Amino acid sequence: MLEKFERIKLGHFPTPIEHLKNISKYLGGPNIFIKRDDCTGLATGGNKTRKLEFLIPDAIKNKAELVVTVGAVQSNHARQTAAACTLMGLKCLIILEQRLKDPPEAYMKSGNVFLDKLFGADVKICPKNEDVLEYSEKLIKNLKSKGTNVYFIPGGGSNSVGALGYVECLNEIIKDNKKYNITQIIHATGSSGTQAGLLAGKKYFNCNIPVIGICVRHKKDTQVDKVYNETKKTCEKLQCKILDKSDVIVYDEYIGSGYGEPTEGMIEATNLLAKKEAILLDPVYSGKAFAGLIDLVRKKKFTKNDNILFIHTGGAVSLSAYEWAF
């Protein structure tokens, strides 16, 4: 369906859907299924693989010598971008923003940060007194002045090119839905590209399944605006109808004290999935998103006849950097 857009194969698709029988029984609510986008293959897997399958060929089309991207210190997007670049013979510069108040040394050096360097990326930490985008712009301007052809990928790979990956993800879900009869889709929403792709896909494929984002960084109004604006751009790229803003559903009660900061709900959710389903969540995105799902089930937001699909966006690599939180 998306053949008109340039794409390279980086991952293993379609990803499987599994029934979380033990968790469903434990919570006593709806049937809960999980789409294993943590198993996409590239650099231990994750949702950014889908986005990079469209972003990297765009970089190559633009004759890029160097791909520059930004993210938080334990960015899953940064890790997968570094891996995709090394696979395709592109140089990669990653600019990381330190968002935690007082992180331990392991947070700054292990997990994704270690893998960024292992995949050959040049890693820079944005100074605390500078805005990461302004800092990036200065570095890119300097690189361009020296004749380097730079391709910039925004944080999370979230733009109308990257969002195409989650238009395709929704297509996979629709194809599987005769078997599962999914009534709601739930996932973590941060930089907005994943939710924007799913929502644009709803319009493109004429699908009516509600898509619910659990915020991991921004409050509701800000996140709705971000997702709606990105969805609109993606719909324009697809040349399909633009969704109503009221179709953007997010919950912001599960962020805690800030992006990447551990919460009791995240710790409970991560422990439950590990001990009952042998599935590893991550502390920043999927852990908080599944904590939101658990709370919504406990609050009777779903019926026992509902079939909830949770999209696991990956990121378990960062668990080693968060051992102190558990």
Among the listed residues 24, 75, 192, 318, the single catalytic one is: 75
Rounded CA separation 201/100 (Å): 34
Please name the amino acid found at residue 37: D
Helices then strands, each counted (H, E), the chain: 11, 10
End-to-end CA distance of the chain: 43
* Sheet order of strands, 184-189 included: 17-19, 31-36, 307-312, 184-189, 211-215, 249-251
Q: Which residues contact 301 (CB under 8 A, 6 or more apart)?
A: none
Dist CA 274 CA 60 (whole Å): 39
160 is an active site residue: no
Structure token digits, residue 295:
């709370």
Residue-wise over 287-306: b if at least 16 C-beta within 10 A, else e? bbbbbbbbbbbeeebbeeeb
Catalytic (active-site) positions: 75
